């Protein structure tokens, strides 16, 4: 049976009190989308509020400069239609998916951790045996996830995300509501980065997969597929 993957994006479109636009990060959405689709997985896109989620304009390099996966997505009518008609997180059923993937973009920092429909979906999917993956600021969602025994999902697990050093490097450490690496550490996560700003890194702890930044989206997609194959090979 074909594995089903839910890509869940932010619906938040303002960068704190700056008034500047934000949203999801294009390449962090499109690299895994095409890797999974091309490998034969069924991929659905959802967002916090449903409908058309906002894209971070800073993640669109413009015609002729976009990463190949982004341009391919924008040129694909079916993909763009799916993006403009996303399912609200509250209407997603945890048991329907073998994996949930959370792309980043700064918008995630404001809505994903505080949206009960999102955190409940992740917790229930995790406890049902799903793969949970997130990249860059996408792991912000994980900071709001508690399992049924009250334990933070990330406690004691190896995780990665956009680092505090990277946030300072882009000058947004005073804009974001919290520093993601620090928050994950506070919840007992075993944070690991590659020690280099904006270099690719993926942390894997069983079914929990997290990537550091946009450069990590493609390798994270490969890790998701490896985890799904491992899950399929498990005895029923």
The residues carrying an active-site annotation are: 136-137, 167
- Give the list of residues 6+ apart from residue 2 with CB closer than 8 angstroms, or none: 40, 41, 42
Helix axes 217-232, 26-38, angle to 10 degrees: 40
Both tokens of 4, joined, read: 């089903």
96: helix, strand or coil: helix
Q: Any idea which residue has 């763009």 for tokens?
A: 80
Q: What whole-number distance in Å separates Cα of residue 73 and Cα of residue 90?
A: 25
Residue written as token pair 């009190």: 17
Tell me the β-bridge partners of 87. Answer: 46
Check if the beta carbon of residue 181 is closer than 8 Å to that of residue 164. Answer: yes
């Amino acid at each position: 049976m074909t594995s089903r993957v839910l890509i869940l994006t932010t619906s938040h479109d303002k960068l704190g009190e700056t008034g500047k636009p934000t949203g999801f990060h294009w390449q962090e959405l499109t690299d895994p989308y095409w890797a999974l689709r091309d490998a034969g997985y069924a991929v659905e896109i959802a967002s916090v509020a449903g409908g058309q989620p906002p894209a971070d304009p800073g993640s669109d390099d413009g015609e002729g400069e976009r990463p190949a996966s982004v341009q391919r997505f924008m040129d694909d009518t079916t993909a763009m239609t799916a993006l403009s008609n996303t399912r609200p997180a509250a209407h997603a059923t945890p048991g329907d998916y073998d994996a949930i993937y959370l792309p980043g973009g700064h918008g995630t920092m404001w809505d994903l951790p505080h949206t009960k429909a999102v955190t409940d979906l992740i917790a229930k999917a995790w406890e049902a045996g799903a793969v949970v993956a997130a990249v860059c600021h996408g792991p912000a969602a994980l900071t709001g996830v508690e399992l049924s025994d009250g334990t933070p999902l990330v406690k004691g697990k190896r995780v990665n995300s956009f680092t505090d050093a990277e946030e300072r490097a882009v000058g947004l450490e005073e804009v974001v509501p919290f520093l993601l690496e620090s928050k994950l550490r506070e919840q007992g996560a075993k944070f690991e980065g590659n020690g280099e700003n904006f270099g690719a890194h993926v942390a894997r702890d069983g079914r929990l997969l997290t990537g550091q930044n946009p450069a990590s989206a493609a390798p994270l997609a490969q890790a998701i597929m490896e985890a799904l194959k491992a899950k399929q090979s498990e005895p029923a």
